[in-house]
Structure 1
Amino acid sequence: MTALPHPDHADALVADIGGTNTRVGLAAGPTLLPETIRRFRNAEYPGLEHVLRAYVGEHGAFACKAASVAIAGPVRDGRGTLTNLDWTIDRETLAAATGADFTAVLNDLQAQGHALGRIAAENLHQVVEGAEPAPNASQLVIGVGTGFNVAPVHNAGEARLVAPSEAGHGNLPISNEAELRLCRYIEKAHGFAAVEEVLSGRGLERVYAWLGEEAGDPRSASAAEIMDRMGKDGHPRSAETVAIFVRMLGRVAGNQALDHLPFGGVFLAGGVARAMAPYFGRFGFIEAFRDKGRFTEFMGQFGVWVIEDDYAALIGSAAHLDRLARAV
């Protein structure tokens, strides 16, 4: 295998660990070096430390001053476990695998929050207009992909706090009889109708299957098949599935905006969010986002963007390490 380039000015290692793949790269201060990024298939390794050692081994000995990983799962006290993969990582293991003097373990949405302000403008697509943000205004990242989660971003000059959460496992909000039947369908199969059971890739598949049962024509389809049919011929059941998804996403995102007041903007991340964005206008995302009774006009202050940069979590991890280094 050809060794990756190792720029002399690189001083940090960053990694983004999902349920299927791990991306690893190097950074120079807060700047991610895209030419150093490599993707690893998690199924080929027994644990994250083995992935990191494989990456470091390709470079030979090099000075890794700091390392940060972003994982798709909850993190507490520098230790995190992936939600959809039986891997656990902590700061001590990360230091042993990389030789780094300073380490950090983040939830993947936290890393996306740390990337705000460093993502190229061409990789941010605005889908809802809002008021001009004030300096240091709070922001909110909402991740919609394999799972669902949010991360509020609080700014104070050079300092930034990105709080973790597990918002995807709260109750799904419902507003009509059909949605109540959807919730009961999910409860029957999974015991609890959480937000993530609809607003995720597998959630899209569940909505499609539920519509089949409602119509007396039960059948299943993968998330990729549903979106492919939408793009080709507007398949009626796929269209209805996407419409339900888009409206529910708008409602949940609006609820989260009221919880966190992100006057600096709401940022949607993840492959499913990107796939849904072309249908926001058609299926009423903005209306669902702003439909908050007496606070409907108030909701007009929040702009919404879709993050279209696959490396945002790596960018955020590098930025986070740099902020921590400058604060010491």
Structure 2
Amino acid sequence: MKSPICIIADIGGTNARFALVEPTESGVASFSAPEKYLTADRSFSQTVSQFIRSRGIDFNADIELRAAVAAPVSAAQSLGEHATRLTNCDWEIGLTELHSALPKLKMRVLNDFAAVALALPSLTDAELTAWASTGSVSTGPKLAIGPGTGLGVASIVCVNGAWHVVPGEGGHVTLSAADDREAAILSIVRREFPHVSAERLLSGTGLPTLHRAVCAVDGLHSVASSAEDITDAVHRGELGALATLKTFAAMLGSVAGNAALTLGATGGVYLAGGLLQHWRDVFPVHDFVTQFRSKGRFTSYLTNIAIHRIDAPEPGLIGLARSA
């Protein structure tokens, strides 16, 4: 029996990346060069149709669509029967709009960072940059966390030799202060947002808010109004942007350390997300690692957990391709 055509889609708040799964002689699933679409340009159904048309696929073919989305996904939503609304854009992911044009389409939907977590066991050293290399347990729970448009968190655990993903919404935990300066920053942000989640500051959408608060507390001039502006200012060496980046790294390290403690992530912590790739040459890794480990009596526990940045292109698509 002929296998269905398998399309994979990693859908974030800003960009959606689509690719075709391709069989390989090794049996390890691979995928075609992804096509990137802006979510603001068209709807989900329009984007799916455009990708299928661009690849010359028959709309009446047996198609399996695996979609990783930046949103929580319930059991009913996981098969596309009920639409999933993304957290940071207006897309709704589901079968309703698609079935009239694609009658044989079947769908699987999962959280975007769950897809990243699915990739972790198969990533090679060449696809990672070590931020803290220690003796992590190879089959211990692994944590994926990373800032893009939002802040994604998920994990994967090994049970009886098989890996099982544990999705979560850790980006929406309440952000806490590690010192008086961070407390002052959060106090300013709470004037605008009564609940300050980790994602509220530690993401592309949250970075301008963090920048304004950091500059207010440190008495520095704030001129940047977007994540792109702040990144450009970092590369120019502007003090307000550099202070923002150091604060971002420290706060992200603290959040990641909390998540690693909660999960018991002895298999390592893996950082993904578009922001870290934009900052790969300037990100203050020391500030991240210091705050990651700064947990009092459990500092030694966290010191034994390896930390890596994922450099593999499209880890979410890797996870989707290997999620058969």
Normalised-by-shorter TM-score class: 0.7 to 0.9
> Alpha-carbon deviations, 1:276-323, whole Å to 9, x = none?
454455652211111111111111221111112332111111211x2x
Q: Secondary structure at the match of 1:76?
A: coil
Shift in Å, 1:225: 2.4
Q: How many residues align?
A: 310
More moved, 118-127 vs 299-308: 118-127
Would you say 1:144 and 2:147 are equivalent positions? Answer: yes
| Structure 1 residues 141-220: aligned runs within 5 Å | 141-156=144-159, 159-214=162-217, 215=219, 217=221, 219-220=223-224
More moved, 174-183 vs 249-258: 174-183
Shift in Å, 1:103: 2.6
Aligned twin of 1:22: 16
* Cα distance between partner residues in 2 of 1:294 and 1:277: 31
Would you say 1:113 and 2:110 are equivalent positions? Answer: no
Is the 2:132–2:289 contact (alpha carbons within 8 Å) kept by the matching residues of 1? yes
Aligned residue among 126, 130, 149 for 1:126: 130
Would you say 1:248 and 2:245 are equivalent positions? Answer: no
Aligned twin of 1:44: 41
Aligned twin of 1:5: none
Unaligned runs of 5+ in 1: 1-7, 323-328
Shift in Å, 1:224: 2.0
* Cα distance between partner residues in 1 of 2:41 and 2:177: 41
> Alpha-carbon deviations, 1:229-268, whole Å to 9, x = none?
3223x22211111111111111111111000111211111
Is the 1:128–1:303 contact (alpha carbons within 8 Å) kept by the matching residues of 2? yes
Aligned residue among 38, 63, 66 for 2:64: 66
Aligned residue among 72, 86, 93 for 1:89: 93
Instruction: Describe the shift of the 1:174–1:251 C-alpha distance in structure 2 as closer, same or farther (beyond 3 A).
Output: same
More moved, 146-155 vs 49-58: 49-58
Aligned residue among 230, 242, 260 for 2:263: 260
Is the 2:224–2:230 contact (alpha carbons within 8 Å) kept by the matching residues of 1? no
Percent of counterpart pairs with the same letter?
29
Letter in 2 for 1:117: P
Shift in Å, 1:118: 3.4
* Cα distance between partner residues in 2 of 1:158 and 1:97: 41
| Structure 1 residues 303-318: aligned runs within 5 Å | 303-318=306-321
* Cα distance between partner residues in 1 of 2:287 and 2:116: 26
Is the 1:227–1:238 contact (alpha carbons within 8 Å) kept by the matching residues of 2? yes
Cα RMSD (Å) of the superposition?
Answer: 2.5
Letter in 1 for 2:126: E
Shift in Å, 1:271: 1.2
> Alpha-carbon deviations, 1:131-184, whole Å to 9, x = none?
1423x3210100211111210111235633212211111111212222122112
Letter in 2 for 1:164: P
Instruction: Describe the shift of the 1:109–1:282 C-alpha distance in structure 2 as closer, same or farther (beyond 3 A).
Output: closer
Letter in 1 for 2:199: E
More moved, 112-121 vs 285-294: 112-121
Shift in Å, 1:97: 5.9
Would you say 1:225 and 2:229 are equivalent positions? Answer: yes
Is the 2:133–2:307 contact (alpha carbons within 8 Å) kept by the matching residues of 1? yes
* Cα distance between partner residues in 1 of 2:122 and 2:242: 35
Instruction: Describe the shift of the 1:212–1:87 C-alpha distance in structure 2 as closer, same or farther (beyond 3 A).
Output: same
TM-score calculated relative to the size of structure 2: 0.86
More moved, 255-264 vs 99-108: 99-108
* Cα distance between partner residues in 2 of 1:191 and 1:264: 35
Aligned twin of 1:77: 75
More moved, 220-229 vs 123-132: 220-229
Higher helix fraction (1 or 2): 1
Aligned twin of 1:56: 52
Q: Secondary structure at the match of 1:151?
A: strand
* Cα distance between partner residues in 2 of 1:97 and 1:318: 24
TM-score calculated relative to the size of structure 1: 0.85
Shift in Å, 1:121: 3.6
> Alpha-carbon deviations, 1:67-97, whole Å to 9, x = none?
2001111211242211111222235666666
* Cα distance between partner residues in 2 of 1:61 and 1:153: 36
Is the 2:112–2:152 contact (alpha carbons within 8 Å) kept by the matching residues of 1? no
Aligned residue among 19, 30, 33 for 2:31: 33
Q: Secondary structure at the match of 2:254?
A: helix
> Alpha-carbon deviations, 1:26-58, whole Å to 9, x = none?
1035523223x222232332x212211222223
> Alpha-carbon deviations, 1:91-126, whole Å to 9, x = none?
566666655564310110011111123345432111
